[in-house]
A and B are shown apart, each in its own frame.
Chain A
């Protein structure tokens, strides 16, 4: 069935390095994608989103890239800090229009070493 998946379950980086977290999706009807950060014991925290009519969007220290040709999404975190250590999920809406009923991937655990 349609699903959102992640290439790497864990990622370990040094403080100050850039991090790249990847995500593959299979639902060609998806037109909205989101990255969430989840720290231990907390709910997912919205980081950045992108619509399918864009291929790049930048936020504060974060950039999301969307490649619709290969159905791939990535999250780039610049100058990674210890506070960035968390599980990162990509999610997609699986349909056009409203953004409810998100489908989440399994998540990537990012560990930032001081």
Chain B
């Protein structure tokens, strides 16, 4: 499978714990995005990288959230001191920057904070 890969698919944690998700983009894609989706809603932009540089962060991304893409390939999204309101599907997408840029999404990590 050469699509966007996300791990784990599901994560259940207790409030206050830290969690980390991983995203492996399509190999030739230089842009990587994190979105969050709650039940019944469309995905909301969180942040994106071009190569290893994090170029924009949404106001939705509180100080408890941090994303990295150290070598311009895979990315991690960490949530510290999780809260019940963090429960959502965390989606990763990747694209090849250019005029005909298209975002391709992974299957997401479903986070449940108890």
Chain A residues engaging chain B, CB cutoff 8 angstroms? 4, 34, 36, 41-46, 49, 89, 91, 98-107
Does A100 contact B42, Cβ atoms closer than 8 Å?
Answer: no
Does B107 contact A46, Cβ atoms closer than 8 Å?
Answer: no
Residues of A within 8 A of B93 (CB): 43
Does A42 contact B45, Cβ atoms closer than 8 Å?
Answer: no
Q: Compute how far the CA of A36 lies from the CA of B104 in the bound complex, rounded to whole angstroms.
A: 10
Residues of B within 8 A of A99 (CB): 95, 101-103
Distance in angstroms from B29 CB to nearest chain A CB is: 12
Number of interface residues of B (CB under 8 A): 24
Does B108 contact A43, Cβ atoms closer than 8 Å?
Answer: yes
Q: Compute how far the CA of A53 lies from the CA of B38 in the bound complex, rounded to whole angstroms.
A: 33
15 intermolecular pairs with C-beta atoms under 8 Å apart:
A42-B108, A43-B107, A44-B43, A45-B105, A46-B102, A46-B104, A49-B102, A91-B42, A98-B97, A99-B101, A99-B102, A100-B101, A101-B56, A102-B45, A107-B42
Chain B residues engaging chain A, CB cutoff 8 angstroms? 4, 6, 31, 33, 40-45, 48, 56, 91, 93, 95, 97, 101-108
Distance in angstroms from B77 CB to nearest chain A CB is: 15
